[in-house]
Amino acid sequence: PLQPTVEERPLLPSAAGGALAEEGDIMQESIAETELDPAVRATVTLPEPSVVLPTIDPLAVEQDIAVGGSATVYPITRRMYRRFVREGYAGIMKIERVGTGEGFRLLCSVGTADIVNAGRMVTADEVELCSSISRTPVPFAIGRAAVSLFVHPENDFVDSVTMAQISTIMTATLWSDVDPQWPAEPIHHLLPRVDSDEFAAVVRLVMGGNADALRTAPNRTFFDTNDELIQSFTGQRYAVSLASHILLLQNSEEFLRPVPIDGQLPTAANILSGRYPLVFPLYLYTDPGILQGKPQVAAFINFYLNHINEEIREVGYFPAAVQDLDAARTQLLEILGEELY
């Protein structure tokens, strides 16, 4: 099971007078501290939102904030929190990296989370759970991530696949079951854990909602971290995986090879243009009552939405579509009863 990572304000003073959280253990999915190649960052064209939010002064923000949820969104929120601290925030922010589903439970059932880091949309069951404690989860789009299809570098027969082929590849027993020209060798399916954002994205985008087909795929192995995935590929010429695009930025070419889908790889240009198909949205969720009753939460989300496009590329993810970011900003203003600029 995914272990929580908690960040709190401890010992390191910032130039602004606040304090930065200790590192905690960082999951392998995160490249928050990895220096990305400038050429990679240069390919990210940032959208320009038209809705303007107020400027937030973190020095004026008091009280603490509790965040829980997605390991995918975690490095982005951590980065935004650190900037919030550098610019003056002196409160304590607790960030629990427990998975999107558990994050919604903390917001909607336990009632301890102010904000959910989410790598998918809230489900009807989670909305109902929230209503039991008079909460309504509302989303704020912050960015996009992608899933890539990977094979072993010595795989010399899969050069490109279609979207229609992927569901067959991920559930077939032999490679020849997918294409008779491919070897009659068992497919070793390497799958993200079932409570991960990547698994949820694959179920929705590839499997038509049929999670059981993936859970029961023949010759399957589930992995928790990218390190585990890379180790699982070692010596497995006939392995295949659907995993985070982050692996493309982690010098993993020696261990696995990305396969174009409908001729496209998950590059920034392909994702921002909509040409690459396996893309999923990233959100913050909270409740209107929390926003109205806890000004520190409203201030942090406002700050987040103001600066997300300056920070998201640094952790390897992609900006939200401009219309989605504008919708998030508009929703925040409406909930807070402020003028639309």
Contact predicate 94/100, CB 8 Å = no
C-alpha distance from residue 312 to each of 36, 125, 320 (Å): 12, 30, 10
Separation of CA 201 from chain center: 10
Considering the domain 12-144+281-335 in this protein, what is its CATH number?
3.40.190.10
- Type of residue found at 222: F
Q: How far apart are CA 90 and CA 88, in angstroms?
A: 6
Q: Where exactly are the structural domains of the chain?
A: 12-144+281-335, 146-273
Residue 42 has pLDDT above 60, yes or no: no
CATH architecture of the region 146-273: 3-Layer(aba) Sandwich (3.40)
Q: Transcribe 148-175 into DSSP letters.
A: EEEE-TT--S-S-B-HHHHHHHTT-SBG
Helix (H), strand (E) at residue 299:
helix 295-311
pLDDT at 219 over 60: yes
Helix ranges restricted to H, 173-246? 197-205, 211-215, 226-233
Least confident of 218-222, 309-313, 316-320, 335-339: 335-339
Strand partners, 97: 69
Question: Is the fold of 12-144+281-335 the same as that of 146-273?
Answer: yes
* Beta strands 65-69; 115-118: pairing state: parallel
**More confident: 23 or 235:** 235
Task: Specify the DSSP element, H or E, that contains 244.
Answer: strand 239-244
Per DSSP, the three-state class of 67 is strand
Give the pTM.
0.87
Q: Residue 40: is its pLDDT beyond 60? A: no
Q: Read off the amino acid at residue 30.
A: S
pLDDT band at 21 (very low <50, low <70, confident <90, very high): very low
Q: Mind listing the pLDDT tens digit for each residue in 275-328?
A: 999 999 999 999 999 999 999 999 999 999 999 999 999 999 999 999 999 999
Q: What is the mean pLDDT of residues 185-202?
A: 96
CA distance 329 to 292: 15
pLDDT of residue 249: 82
Q: Which two tokens stand for residue 244?
A: 């985070």
